[in-house]
Amino acid sequence: MSEPHPDMPKQWIKGMEPTMNDKGFMFAILDEFANEFIQLSGASEDEVLELGCAYGVATIKALEAGGRVTACDMDERHLEVLLSRVPDECRDRLTLKAGTLPDIDLPENHFGAVLCSRVIHFLRGDDIDATVRNVFRWLKPGGRFFLVADTPYGIWRNFIPTWDANIEKGERWPGLMERLLDFLPFTPSREDAGPEFMNLMSPDLLERTCKEAGFEVERAVWVRRDDFGSKGRMDGRENCGLAAIKPV
């Protein structure tokens, strides 16, 4: 294993590794959708894809399960850290690719499963739609798509009145949130922390976007995150997740 990357931020919340590009955290504890992706990776002969892999907690588990994985992230430094953490016996089944959504170029009708966890909420609405359409193209017929995103009902709970008002007005993307620090229930350790905006989601929004792209949605649900702790946990709707399939 290589030495720690010089740009690695200090971990200041247990179980959450800050990204180097100030786009949030990689969570050490995996949710049901990541675990389903990992299980499918090990059981499938098809290559699988993780989008926005960060330091690769799900990718490494999928490799250890026996899968062949393409891991993508917008920051090449994240991929360097991921590679340093991969067991030697798994490296020949790993492909790394740097790029941003929705523009990254990947082969069509190729992957057996795709995981995109806590990534699309960093995109504006048109880019979310374009990303999901691209995932549809990249999957083989019968391939599975696992999608997870932040909601207003966890760390961003102070945004709920704006969310409700936007829904009442019929906004297509009611979760578009700017001035992020205004909506935190606590004072962050850094005043400049975080991205310029986020696009908070719900199961209904995930389902709508995927159905419009051609997917058959198997389930779209709220995801409880007890590991978020008292500052990030609210009522069991801290994340939302979806499992879908590309029709044969």
Three-state DSSP at 74 gives: coil
- 57 occurs within a structural domain: yes
Q: Total domain count for the chain?
A: 1
Q: At residue 136, what is the residue type? A: F
* CATH number of the domain within which 134 lies: 3.40.50.150
164 part of a folded domain = yes
Within a domain: residue 2?
A: no
pLDDT of 12? 46
CA angle, corner 245, sides to 239 and 248, nearest 5? 175
Instruction: Say if 69 falls within a structural domain.
Output: yes
Q: Which domain holds residue 72?
A: 16-245
Closest CA to 25 of 78, 96, 62: 78
pLDDT in tens, 155-164: 899 999 999 9
116 inside domain: yes
Express each pLDDT in 184-193 by its tens digit: 776 665 555 5
Measure the CA–CA gap between 225 and 236, rounded to whole angstroms. 7
- Asked if residue 4 is part of any domain, the answer here is no
Residue 97 lies in a domain: yes
- Does residue 130 form part of some domain? yes
Question: Is this model's pTM higher than 0.85 or not?
Answer: yes
Give buried/exposed letters for 26-42 (b at 16+ CB in 10 A, else e): bbeebbebbebbbebbe
Q: What angle do CA 224, 225, 228 make, to 5 degrees?
A: 155
Q: Residue 209 pLDDT > 80, yes or no?
A: yes
Determine the 3-state secondary structure of 156 from DSSP: coil
